[in-house]
Each structure stands twice: as structure tokens, then as C-alpha cells.
Structure 1
Amino acid sequence: MPSSDTLTPSLDPTVAHLEPVAMEQAHRHLVAKILAELTHERLLAPRPAPGQVDTWLVTTGSGSEYRFRGRVHRLEHWTVDPASIVRTIDGVESAVDALDAVVDLADVLGIPGALLPVYLEEVASTLQAAAWKRTHHRLTSADLVHADLPTVEAAMTEGHPAFIANNGRIGFSLDDFAAYAPETGAPVRLQWTAVRRRLAHLSVGEGWDEASLWAHELDDDLVAGWRELLRGLGEDPDDYLFAPAHPWQWQHKLAITFAPDVARRDIVPLGPGRDDHRAQQSIRTFLNASDPARHYVKTALSIQNMGFLRGLSPHYMRPTPAINDWVAGRVRTDPELQECGFDVLREVAAIGYTGGAYQRLPQPSAHQKMFAALWRESATSRLRDGERAATMASLLH
């Protein structure tokens, strides 16, 4: 017999946003984007609907037809009205569905058959995120005019303006989405590790060294505690560098894929840092919410997003600060740019783990890009009185 405290069946709250109205809006928005962007790229050639102004037809290789209202702007950019889209198959109206649109246009897209299901998965994930944003975001444009940078970053609904599957994030669970997606605005504490110095490299830009970097980014007593932890393991703290990792990356990749390295104490987990961070729209770059003057931190994140894994190469990280110094030098000695008040946010430090078997392989792979990070100057640290930071993406949103 069932017990008296048997739970009443109820909808899982983590998927409450996956409901018909929000999903239909998400489908229509994405299909409008598909039609507009593929036409701009000249993969589609809509023909005018007879006797109708600004109404267009696209017939697909699968036999379906799309009718929609749209306007053509300069440089062949299109605006498509999502509410106007009608899809028919053999003259019978059918649901407007972004995944069906991709299948309808498969011959135009030219995606290999083996990869098409993966692309559909990215499109489905993008729809999931769009439905979440449509059921959770409540801030208006008027609210955002006076909001701070983290709030604006979380409130953005579109991501990349032209990329179709711009919220693919293959590898994230629903819990990961809630914890790490930029639109949720959840606080994130980076996972810190100690990596054996001879198996890693730390590059710093002009005006920085290892000591000043840790002093800027980490509390002295926290560093002292980490050094004591290493001594307790029988290791010399001076033989190690500190390296941040995305919490997802630690749980799903580093602690498993690099398990032998952890066992050898080549990588030592130190636990989460003290500062709360917020994911920016690029998903793997964080701003420091606890101390906004501290650097942005960009981490490797081995999820598939917008078509490829978001790793960071330790070898590419090595020259990054020097390249940034060169660019900053050019900008800061250019009279016209200085007159405009233009400057750059330098990537002032980068770290990469080069130990383990993966780095010895001659063929480049995603496994060689799983553990690296960089530090970029914070826009907040450069603000003058009366100024607020905003990304160009948010201004054009």
C-alpha cells in the first residue's frame, strides 16, 4: 500500500519554462532568424509573393514552403516578422518549428549527415534557453538604462545577433544551466588549483609579476592557507602556481580526464575561491562581483557552443600578454585614438597546464585545450566619476 506521505505528482520546476506559449515564441523567433541570416548569406533567395507588399516565399528542397513578411535593408540585411511566418507542406499549414526548418533546409546548409543531429541538438538547446529567458526576464529597457554591468549582461536575451544556434552549450545539464548560464545571473565561485610549476607556465604583461598578480586577485590569508595545505601534502609550495578553473570543467573534465595528474599531485585541488563571479555573455569569461576592480577571468570550458568546444590552448596563452602589451602600446601612442579617449583592456596574465600525456600527442586535439586561463583588466577599474561600464553587445542589443 502507498504510504500516506506519498508525493503528489507535479511538474518538475526546472522545466516549467518548457511550455507551449514560450516555446512557440522561441521557435518563431529562431525561424525568423534562420530565414533572415541564410538570405543575407545568399543561401536562400526569397521570391516576392504575388500581389502582396513585403511578403516573401521560400520553397525548400524537402517540399515545404515558408511565407513571411520581411524588409530588406542596406547590405542585404533582412528583418523578418516572426508572427507572420506560415509553413505549409503540400498546401497544408504546419507548425513553425526551428528544428524542422533546419531539416527542411539541410541541402542548403550543407551540414554533413553525421553532424546534422549534433547541430539540431544545439538548436534545441538554444530554444530551451530562449524559452527560459522569455519566462524569467522582467526588466525593461528603462530599467536597464541605469543598471550595472552584471545586471545588463544577465538581461540580454539574444546572445550572438547573427549566429543561429547561439546557445548550444552541449554538455550543460539543467542544473548547470541554472548555475552557469549568463542569463541566470547566478553567482559562481571559481575552482582553484595548484599546478606543478615545471609542468605549467605563467605569462604576465608589462607592470605585473607573479607576486603582484596573486596580491591583486587573491587575499593574502587565502594564499597562505593554500601554501599550508601543500606543505601538509608533503609538497613545497614554491614548486606550484595557482590556476583557476571553471567549476563545471573541474567536475566534468579535470578531476576525471586528468585523474592521474591529480593523483601525482601535479594538479592539486584547492577548493572554491572566496569571490563571487558572474558569467559574461561569452559564457566562459567571468567578472568579479565581489570586487569589480579585480580582473575578468577567462577559463577553458569544454562544452560545445556555437559549433566548437570552448577550450583554451596553453600554448596560445603563453604569448597572449605580450601581444596585448604590443597592441596597447600602439593604441596609446596613436594621437587620434588618444584624442578620442580610446583604450584597450589588456589581457595581463595567462596560465596553462602543459603536463600529462595529452600534451605529448603530435595531433592537436580538444584534450590539449582543457586547462588554461587568462586574466583581463576590468572595465570597472578604468571608470571615471559618473561613468558606467557597458559592452558594445548590450548597446546594440
Structure 2
Amino acid sequence: MISTEALAPLRGENWKKANRRLTGKMLQEFLYENIIQAETETKKGEDRYRFQVELGGAVYTFEVIKRLFNSFHVFEETIEKEKAGNKLPVLAQDLLLELQQTAPISSETASHLIKEYYHTLAADCHLLDKTTTAADMAEMDYAELEGEMNGHPWITYNKGRIGFSYADYLDYAPEQQQPVRLFWLAVHHTAASFQTAGGWNEERLLEHELTREEREHFRRIVQQAGADPRGYYFMPVHTWQWEHQIISLYADYLADQRLIPLDFSRDEYLPQQSIRTFVNRTNRHKHHVKLPISILNTLVYRGLPSERTLIAPDVTEWVQDIREEDEFLRDICDIGLLGEIGSIDVAHDRFHSLPGAPYSYLELLGTVWRESIYEALKDEEHPMTLAALLHQDAAGRPLAQELIERSGLAPKDWIEALCRAILPPLLHYLYKYGTVFSPHGQNAIVVLKQNIPQRLIMKDFVDDVNISDQPLPELSFVPEQLKTVLRREPPQGLVQFIFTGLFICHFRYLADLLDVKGLLDEKTFWQQAAQTISSYEDQFPELSERFKLFDLFQPTMTKLCLNRNRMLEDGYREGDDRPHAAEHGQVENPLSACHHPGFVE
């Protein structure tokens, strides 16, 4: 039974504030994705406008600043709503229902969206109760800081988590910062595939993750079940996944002892922003663990795709080999790559033999072991995800501002250091090797020293490494087993991973935040980014043809949309592959504009 105390964050004051914030975000991102349009706009100052939007008979008025990338900053405190001359409360779900009257959103889709918005609002109420200051966060441990985040900055239903009950939310959501223990299973060799890389093997991996007593305890359980432990792999599973999916859907595996339930291991873990990745809090030098949880959050179910789980260690060896053989990446950039050094996949024999089965049924049971962030650090280095730089505390003070002031650098110089730390290694992998990571806020980790950005660490290769479809000689060395699984993208598609994944999905918000807080003009921010790219290109004139092929300075790019996908295109139907961002129109590229005199005023 959920206690009354656990419901306390849902009080009226928080509910109203969460609704206003979410409504502001919806208006802002729906304007960007051309889901809504301003009926009228009135200039309120040098760069401030008052917009009016009519939806389903309701009229919303609010103030905005027009931003680069054809984007906007909506001032949530200015939102007013009227209908038939009456002032009405600002509620996110009502905005959606009003939008549905004019946009092609089915009632089925609208119902699921309302559910996701309710879940998001409930989580936002909990976040509003947090009292952690920006000063506190500047000193927080990497894993602890992840529990302070607000979620995806662009997707409006960013904490939908369909499949979680409220009790599950309290137990497993990262912002609850509740330590969990992992349940372990024994899976027969005939039912699973176990892969390792980097000198690891099954025995060494288990010795690293489990004590001798735990390993012996697990072996005894298998023996007591009348089976031989030598014929089994040991793997952890998330408790929610075990109870909600595995027991029922793998019942025949349990019946014939292809699966044998074991016990909880002793270590405690903290869930990270992705929900399915866990950092060991008992011993932080042990591996991070990525586990499937079949809940729908943002655009996808949070499972582990079988085909990518199988090749995860091979992808690790390949991207790390590139780094080790390239002096620029290894010595100059000093990029860190958190290797996925072990994986186990238990494909469901019925679902995997069914042509066109929904993808969530192909991602049910597996484990990926990733190198610990703490093993990749040097003395005095402090890591945090890029997502953390967008965070503001309850008083509205950004963590980025706290870090800048502590560093002693001017904001412009701090952003220059950030761009130098992040962009060159990403550009080098793209231009020289036709390979991209997905450098969004969760995957990209900035390493600070004395609060100044120093270098980049990347993670999550199993889902987010992609290669060019062009016949580049550097790609002739890609192992055959990777070519059949890694996404091969045309040049424009490959560029989008940096342009949209980093610039639009992260830098767009950071530039806006610094500008609104009076720290750095938005145009100056993008000038710094453009200068970093130009400086890289000056270092490698031999790659000039690649700069044209993968052109980050082109005047416009295809606009990718994350809210439009769910709301107007795919809805909630589930195909045999994960959904991708929707394409809609073009977006102006401020990096191109940087080449014109007068861009920086």
C-alpha cells in the first residue's frame, strides 16, 4: 500500500507549477516542430514577442524570444489562456485535447499521450520537491547527479514510463535515487549467447562482479535444482522485468530449466537517466550494468535489441582500436570510450521465429556490462553528462553557471573549452573514419578539472554507433559481423547525428539558457562552435573532401522532430523496428551563418 507521505509531492501548488512548466515546453517545442503556429505576434521589445495561438476555441497568449535553428524560448510565467472571454487555468492535458481538435491526432493516440503527460507531471511534482542547489550539484558524484535531472529537454512526454505503476516509479525512477539490488538467473548455454571483449572472459567477468561466496551460492542453487552449473551462464535481470515479463513469457524456459532463478546479489546500484543502466554504488569500480525493462519511455521500449546485444563487445573493440591507432584521438583528444566488454542475450525462440514481430518482443532478456566511468578517470577529474549542464536548481540557478563561476573563466572562454573538449574527437571519427556516435546529453560525458571542461567520454555503443554507406577505405576494415548490424547512413544521415543529436538536442538549449541568464549571447555561443569546427578542419587539410561530404556548414538541414513522430505520424503502433525521428521541413543552420560578417553583434 502506498503511504500518504509518498503522495505528498502531488499537492496542488506543485501540480499547478508542473502544468505551467510543461505547457510552456509544449508550446515551445510544438512551435519548433510546426505542430502549431502563432496566429498573431506583437513585438514587445528589442528581441521579445507576444504570440497568440488558438487551439480548439481556447486562445493562448505568451511571450517568446526567437532563437536560432528557427526555434523559440517561451516564458512560461507569461502564459495566459482564455476561452469565450473567460480566463482558464493552464493545464498540459487540456492543451493536448484542444490541439487534437485541429491536428490529425487520433483519440487512441491522444489517450496514450494524456497518460504519458500525467506520468510526466507526477514525476515533475516530485522533482519540484528537490532542494539540491547548483552548488551542491557541482560537487556531486556522477551517479548521484544523474538522479537530479529533469529528463529529455526536447520530448514533452519525457517521463511517460508506460508500464510503471506509481509504486514502480517510487522504486525504480532515477530521480527517486533509490538503491536497488539485482536479481540473478542461470541460463543454459543452449538458450543464450555470451560474448566478451578486451581480454575479458566469462570466468573473469563473474569474478569481477560477484564475490566467491555469491558464485558458490548460485552454483549450489543450480545443483539443488538437479542441474550442472557448468552448463549455465549467470546473468542479472531487473526485478521489474523478471516479475512483469520473464516469469510469464519465459515460463517454458523455467519449466524445462533452461532458466533457473537464483538470488539477489549483495551490491547496491543506482539507476541512471536511461532507467535501464545501473551504476554500482557498493563498489564503483565494478562494471555498469545495462538491463532491459519493457516500459515505453520517450519514443521506444527500453529493451535490449538481440542483434545489437550480440555484437556489443565487437563494436567496443572496433571503436577502441581506432582510438588506439590514431594519435590525434588517443593523445591529443584523449577521448574516453566506456567499453561494453561483456554481453549475454537470451532470444525468445517463439518471438524471434515470428516474421515481423513487434520489436519489444525481441528485446526481453539480456545484459550488457559496461566499463565503469570511475575506471576511466585521472586525478582530480570530475565527470558529468552533458545533460547535467542544462539543469537549474529550485532557485533557477543553472549548474552551468555555477561551474563557470567556479572555474574563474569568462563564459565565452568556458564554452570555448567545452567545444574544444567535445567536438574534435566526434569530428575526427566522422570525417576520417565515417563513423558517428550519438552524442546526445546522456551518451556524452564531459570531464571537468577544476570546473573547466577537459575532454570527452562516450558511452552506449550497442545502440548508437553508425557508419557511412559510402565506400570509404577506412571502413573496409569494419569486421563483417558488424556490417550486417550497424546502421549504414548516407552522408546527410550521418551528419544528422551530430547536427541534431548534439547541436539541436543539447547545444540549442544550453545556448538559450546562458543567453536568458545573461551569461553569453546565443550568437557568440554558436560562433565558438563554428570556430572549433573550422580549427579542426585547418588541422586536417587532407580531409577536405570529407568536409564537403559531411558538411556541417550547409545553410539548411532536414528538420528532425521528436514530438511529431508520436503525435502525428507513428502514434502508438509498434513495428518490427524501433521508430526514428520524423522528418518535417528544413531548419536553418546557424553554423553556416557564422561565416557571414555581422553574425556576432
TM-score (norm 1): 0.92
CA deviations 1:123-158 (Å, max 9, x no partner) are 1100000001112x11100111111112211112x2
Of residues 369, 375, 387, the one that matches 2:369 is 375
SS in 2 for 1:81: strand
**1:45 CA drift (Å):** 2.6
In structure 2, give the amino acid aligned to 1:208. Answer: W
Give the equivalent residue in structure 2 for 1:318: 310
Are 2:197 and 2:342, in contact at CA under 8 Å, matched by a contact in 1?
yes
Are 1:278 and 1:286, in contact at CA under 8 Å, matched by a contact in 2?
yes
Are 1:258 and 1:356, in contact at CA under 8 Å, matched by a contact in 2?
no
Give the equivalent residue in structure 2 for 1:148: 141
Query: What is the rounded CA distance, in whole Å, between the counterparts of 2:340 and 2:52 in structure 1?
Result: 46
Query: What is the rounded CA distance, in whole Å, between the counterparts of 2:252 and 2:190 in structure 1?
Result: 17
Of residues 166, 169, 175, the one that matches 2:158 is 166
**1:356 CA drift (Å):** 4.1
The question of 1:120 aligning with 2:114 is answered: yes
**1:61 CA drift (Å):** 4.2
Query: What is the rounded CA distance, in whole Å, between the counterparts of 1:58 and 1:295 in structure 2?
Result: 51
The question of 1:288 aligning with 2:285 is answered: no
Distance 1:66 1:381, change over 3 A: same
Are 2:351 and 2:357, in contact at CA under 8 Å, matched by a contact in 1?
no
Unaligned runs of 5+ in 2: 392-601
Distance 1:109 1:162, change over 3 A: farther
CA deviations 1:214-264 (Å, max 9, x no partner) are 111111221111111111111010111111111111111111222222122
Query: What is the rounded CA distance, in whole Å, between the counterparts of 2:314 and 2:5 in structure 1?
Result: 48
The question of 1:393 aligning with 2:387 is answered: yes
Are 2:245 and 2:364, in contact at CA under 8 Å, matched by a contact in 1?
yes
Query: What is the rounded CA distance, in whole Å, between the counterparts of 2:370 and 2:103 in structure 1?
Result: 37
The question of 1:205 aligning with 2:197 is answered: yes
Give the equivalent residue in structure 1 for 2:419: none
In structure 2, give the amino acid aligned to 1:134. Answer: L
Give the equivalent residue in structure 1 for 2:50: 56
Give the equivalent residue in structure 2 for 1:6: none
Query: What is the rounded CA distance, in whole Å, between the counterparts of 1:145 and 1:109 in structure 2?
Result: 43
Distance 1:77 1:59, change over 3 A: closer
Give the equivalent residue in structure 2 for 1:105: 99
In structure 1, give the amino acid aligned to 2:145. Answer: V
Give the equivalent residue in structure 2 for 1:351: 344
Give the equivalent residue in structure 1 for 2:33: 41
Give the equivalent residue in structure 1 for 2:531: none
SS in 2 for 1:60: strand
**1:51 CA drift (Å):** 6.2
Give the equivalent residue in structure 2 for 1:361: 354
CA deviations 1:171-202 (Å, max 9, x no partner) are 11222111110001100111110111111001
SS in 2 for 1:390: strand
Unaligned runs of 5+ in 1: 1-9
Distance 1:139 1:51, change over 3 A: closer
In structure 2, give the amino acid aligned to 1:176. Answer: D
SS in 2 for 1:374: strand
Of residues 192, 196, 201, the one that matches 2:188 is 196
Give the equivalent residue in structure 1 for 2:243: 251
Give the equivalent residue in structure 2 for 1:80: 74
Of residues 217, 220, 227, the one that matches 1:228 is 220
Query: What is the rounded CA distance, in whole Å, between the counterparts of 2:219 and 2:3 in structure 1?
Result: 48
Give the equivalent residue in structure 1 for 2:6: 14
Distance 1:335 1:48, change over 3 A: farther
In structure 1, give the amino acid aligned to 2:30. Answer: L
Query: What is the rounded CA distance, in whole Å, between the counterparts of 2:201 and 2:102 in structure 1?
Result: 52
The question of 1:337 aligning with 2:329 is answered: yes
Distance 1:81 1:30, change over 3 A: same
Query: What is the rounded CA distance, in whole Å, between the counterparts of 1:294 and 1:183 in structure 2?
Result: 22
In structure 1, give the amino acid aligned to 2:135. Answer: A
Calculate percent identity across the aligned residue pairs: 31
The question of 1:302 aligning with 2:302 is answered: no
**1:206 CA drift (Å):** 2.5
How well do the aligned residues superpose, as a CA RMSD in angstroms? Answer: 1.8
In structure 2, give the amino acid aligned to 1:312. Answer: L
Query: What is the rounded CA distance, in whole Å, between the counterparts of 2:43 and 2:363 in structure 1?
Result: 56
Of residues 263-272 and 274-283 in structure 1, the stretch that sits farther from structure 2 once superposed is 263-272
Distance 1:101 1:388, change over 3 A: same
Give the equivalent residue in structure 2 for 1:5: none
CA deviations 1:328-358 (Å, max 9, x no partner) are 1122323322202112111111111124433
In structure 2, give the amino acid aligned to 1:256. Answer: S
Are 2:342 and 2:369, in contact at CA under 8 Å, matched by a contact in 1?
yes
SS in 2 for 1:319: helix
Give the equivalent residue in structure 1 for 2:425: none
Are 2:250 and 2:348, in contact at CA under 8 Å, matched by a contact in 1?
no
SS in 1 for 2:226: coil
Of residues 194-203 and 335-344 in structure 1, the stretch that sits farther from structure 2 once superposed is 335-344
Distance 1:95 1:214, change over 3 A: same
Are 1:58 and 1:65, in contact at CA under 8 Å, matched by a contact in 2?
yes
Are 1:46 and 1:56, in contact at CA under 8 Å, matched by a contact in 2?
no
In structure 1, give the amino acid aligned to 2:117. Answer: V
**1:278 CA drift (Å):** 0.2
Are 1:205 and 1:349, in contact at CA under 8 Å, matched by a contact in 2?
yes
Query: What is the rounded CA distance, in whole Å, between the counterparts of 2:365 and 2:357 in structure 1?
Result: 14
Give the equivalent residue in structure 1 for 2:431: none
**1:306 CA drift (Å):** 0.9
Distance 1:109 1:183, change over 3 A: farther
SS in 1 for 2:194: strand
**1:97 CA drift (Å):** 0.6
Q: Higher helix share goes to which structure?
A: 2
TM-score (norm 2): 0.62
Of residues 357-366 and 212-221 in structure 1, the stretch that sits farther from structure 2 once superposed is 357-366
Q: Relative contact order (C-alpha < 8 Å, sep 6+): which is higher?
A: 1
In structure 1, give the amino acid aligned to 2:322. Answer: R
Distance 1:208 1:61, change over 3 A: same
Query: What is the rounded CA distance, in whole Å, between the counterparts of 1:333 and 1:113 in structure 2?
Result: 55
**1:396 CA drift (Å):** 3.4
Are 1:314 and 1:351, in contact at CA under 8 Å, matched by a contact in 2?
no
Distance 1:109 1:29, change over 3 A: farther
SS in 1 for 2:147: helix
Are 2:40 and 2:53, in contact at CA under 8 Å, matched by a contact in 1?
no
Give the equivalent residue in structure 2 for 1:66: 60
